[in-house]
Amino acid sequence: MAEKARAADAYAVGAREPLLSIRDLALDIAGPDGMRPILRVQALDLYPGEVLGLVGETGSGKTLTAMAVVQLFPTPHARITGGSVRFRGRELVGAGPRELAAVRGRRVGVIFQDPSTSLNPVFPVDEPLIRALRIHRGLSRAAARAEAERLLERVGLPGLVGKGRYPHELSGGQRQRVMIALALAGDPELLIADEPTTALDVTVQAQILRLLAELQRERRLAVIFITHNVSLLSGFADRVAVMYAGDVVECGPTAAVLQRPQHPYTQLLLAAAPRLGSGARRLAAIEGLPPSLRERPRGCAFADRCPRAAERCRVEAPRLAPVGEGGPAGGGAATGDGLAAGEGLAAGAGHAVACFFPGGEAQ
């Protein structure tokens, strides 16, 4: 029920300007044999106060896509070579260092996967937080301390300021709470959470997810939640974007994507995870491997592993297009052929898929 209301909300915000809008983003990494195309993201929109789940497997480019906003890439030699990343209406591709610095930390907070390596072990845990508050909000030391106290208490770590506690004295869950406080220090509008619970135990993961959901609601944060585990998004994300081989292959309201997946990759991905009490003797495995980064296929990147691939899929790359109104499988002719110029917003909030033969039986 709550799911439905949220989905409706997502459609409603579609009328507004997106906070973040990515179009035809191209990102390359320099290798010994020249530039390799890593990302070719057709379209991705994020609206204010919305939680977007960015799902994909290792190497699908989900982290690089999200990080295009702050243009801090975990891989050296990565460069944006084309397309557009608009944040609050301003173009960030080609923006100067000053403009990017204003975005980083201040407008956008980032939480990383491994809290044990993200905190400098030689400083007490309250130290970077106080420093961030002074830099981003221009607070005095005393005011920053008070604010740090408040923030840490909010994330469930009361009485930590001035105690000289070092990262190694905290548990993994506590360190991730500190990272969340740090990400919120600049009072951002957008929070990028990159697999924030992957390194944690399931019982701790449940706590951290709750905390993130609460903070998102309280602060009306827009959140990009990057994960390889689709199940985490149920009940948390308003919309889901599924990435494969550097592009978004399907996106839409969470309930729509999880319950009526249209792209064969999404369908297989959802079926591949073992489910409690299913009694299944075999799992739906996706055979083969994602395409090599050296030689990108001309057609659909998933064609080699796709049970539905036809001749067309190998020669022509499908464009992200709205799923037909008549339900799944309906708009066969209308999908895969791309967005018309004015269709961007509708596709951003609605259910869209990049496949010539969407729908079919969800396994």
Which amino acid is present at 123?
F
Which lies closer to another protein via its Cβ, residue 120 or residue 231?
Answer: 231
Which lies closer to another protein via its Cβ, residue 289 or residue 333?
Answer: 289
Number of residues that bind another protein (CB under 8 A): 60
Count the neighbouring beta carbons within 10 Å of the beta carbon of residue 53: 27
User: To the nearest whole angstrom, how small is the minimum distance from the Cβ of residue 106 to another protein?
Assistant: 29
Please state whether beta strands 190-194 and 20-31 pair in parallel, antiparallel, or not at all (unpaired).
Answer: unpaired
Count the neighbouring beta carbons within 10 Å of the beta carbon of residue 312: 14
Residues 44-83 as x/- pattern, contact with another protein by CB under 8 A: -------------xx----------------xxx------
87, with CB counted inside 10 A (0-12, 13-18, 19+), is buried
Enter the DSSP assignment of 17. P
Position 31 contacts another protein (CB under 8 A): yes
CA distance 63 to 238: 19
Q: Is 138 helix (H, G, I), strand (E, B) or coil?
A: coil
Position 294 contacts another protein (CB under 8 A): yes
Q: Which region, judged by CB under 8 A, interacts with another protein, from 62-70, 80-88, 90-98, 165-173?
A: 165-173
Q: Is 123 helix (H, G, I), strand (E, B) or coil?
A: coil
Enter the DSSP assignment of 317. P
Position 5 contacts another protein (CB under 8 A): no
Long-range contacts of 313-316 (CB under 8 A, 24+ apart): 313/356, 313/357, 316/356
Token digits of residue 11: 């459609």
Residues 185-224 as x/- pattern, contact with another protein by CB under 8 A: ----------------xxxxxxx-xx--x-----------
Contact 91, 48 (CB under 8 A): no
Q: Is 38 helix (H, G, I), strand (E, B) or coil?
A: strand
Position 283 contacts another protein (CB under 8 A): yes
Count the neighbouring beta carbons within 10 Å of the beta carbon of residue 311: 9
User: To the nearest whole angstrom, how small is the minimum distance from the Cβ of residue 263 to another protein?
Assistant: 14
Helix (H) or strand (E) holding 153: helix 141-154
Which lies closer to another protein via its Cβ, residue 8 or residue 280?
Answer: 280
Which lies closer to another protein via its Cβ, residue 164 or residue 288?
Answer: 288
Which of 18, 128, 253, 291 forms a contact with another protein (CB under 8 A)?
291
Please state whether beta strands 51-55 and 34-46 pair in parallel, antiparallel, or not at all (unpaired).
Answer: unpaired
User: To the nearest whole angstrom, how small is the minimum distance from the Cβ of residue 309 to another protein?
Assistant: 15
Which lies closer to another protein via its Cβ, residue 102 or residue 284?
Answer: 284
Which of 276, 311, 325, 326 forms a contact with another protein (CB under 8 A)?
276
Residue 46 neighbours by CB under 8 Å, 6+ apart: 18, 19, 20, 21, 52, 190, 222, 224
Which of 274, 311, 333, 342 forms a contact with another protein (CB under 8 A)?
274
Position 286 contacts another protein (CB under 8 A): yes
Residues 231-270 as x/- pattern, contact with another protein by CB under 8 A: xx-xxx------------------x--x---------xxx
Position 275 contacts another protein (CB under 8 A): yes
Residues that bind another protein (CB under 8 A): 2-3, 29, 31-32, 57-58, 75-77, 156, 171-174, 201-207, 209-210, 213, 228-232, 234-236, 255, 258, 268-270, 272-278, 280-294
